[in-house]
Amino acid sequence: MTLQFIKFVENITLTDAQWKDAKTKYEGVCACLDKHFYDSAYNESHKFLFGSYKLKTPVRPIVPEQDVDVLFKIDSSTYVKYQNNPGGLLQEVRKALKERYTTTDKIKAWGKVVLIQFSDGTHNVEVLPAYERYDGKFLIPNTENGGSWNVFDPRTPIKSFQDSNLSSNSLTQKLTKMIKAWKRNTTTLEYKSCIIAEDVINFVNRFYPDGADTGNYLLVIKAFYTYIFSRTSSTDARYSLINIAKTRVDKAYQYEEEGKHIEASEELRKVFGDVFPKEEKNEPNSLENNIFTTAPSPWRVN
């Protein structure tokens, strides 16, 4: 099933054109805010990309709620101006963006962010105005509960992810995208992207710190579902959905060991959707079976 997993990752990875679209949009938003707050042309140092697009883990197809998260750094005078009125800063950001973008683009401010929903139906941008502290963390406006400024530290989780991904030869990144594909195919599943990344980091660092061959990806997936299922309470809303996915992946693994490649791919398509390629024939492969048989079983570790 090596080729199926290679194609699976390709199918859910953004195209060059989609990456370009995302970059054009978030840089355009930051350029607009540069002009408003600094009266200058776009200064790349005023932006800080975080979230899925920083980690390079967004998946396709693009959906209407797909946002690029970007932080826009304000200067000290702007922070002082809105220190007691965080909601006012969000409204100023919204006003500046409305002057730049057309009436067909929707711009909303709430909570801690301003969301620009572009009329082309592709990437949206969620911009978070923030003041950078001496320690590299940020103060961000929060309009909830009367308004306040909260400490935000995006750099620590980014470094944790990048370190894990580097040591695991990109397994952390690829597995994160696979789990996002499962989430996309399971419409009732509530599983935040940041929690998916955190779970994948912990799993990979513990069981596959040096990565895994593509031929072992089915084993990795099987182990991951066993890992998160064992750590999910039966009262958690995700419990039954994780159990369903785990059962199907376990069945796919068993089919694959028996050389039933078609049946294995059918089970995986139930988990990940039609972005997972169909297998066209059953053809037992002793070498591939040996890989699965002799590979470690990390899910058995307490």
What pLDDT score was predicted for residue 287?
41
Angle between helices 171-185 and 193-207 (to 10 degrees): 140
The structural domains of the chain, ordered by start, are 14-153 (3.30.460.90), 157-300 (no CATH)
Q: Token pair for residue 28?
A: 């355009």
Q: Token pair for residue 153?
A: 């530290």
What is the separation of C-alpha 280 from the centre of its chain, rounded to a whole number of angstroms? Answer: 31
* Model confidence band, residue 111 (pLDDT cutoffs 50, 70, 90): confident
Cβ distance 96 to 114 under 8 Å?
no
pLDDT tens readout for residues 243-297: 999 999 999 999 999 999 999 999 999 999 999 999 989 975 544 444 444 445 5
What pLDDT score was predicted for residue 40?
86
Is 218 exposed, middle or buried, given 0-12, 13-18 or 19+ CB atoms closer than 10 A?
buried
Cβ atoms within 10 Å, residue 241:
18
* Model confidence band, residue 66 (pLDDT cutoffs 50, 70, 90): confident
d(CA 297, CA 299): 6
Average pLDDT over residues 211-224: 96
Contacts of 180 (CB under 8 A, 6+ apart): 12, 57, 58, 59, 193, 196
Q: Which amino acid is at 45?
A: S
* Model confidence band, residue 122 (pLDDT cutoffs 50, 70, 90): confident
d(CA 77, CA 89): 12
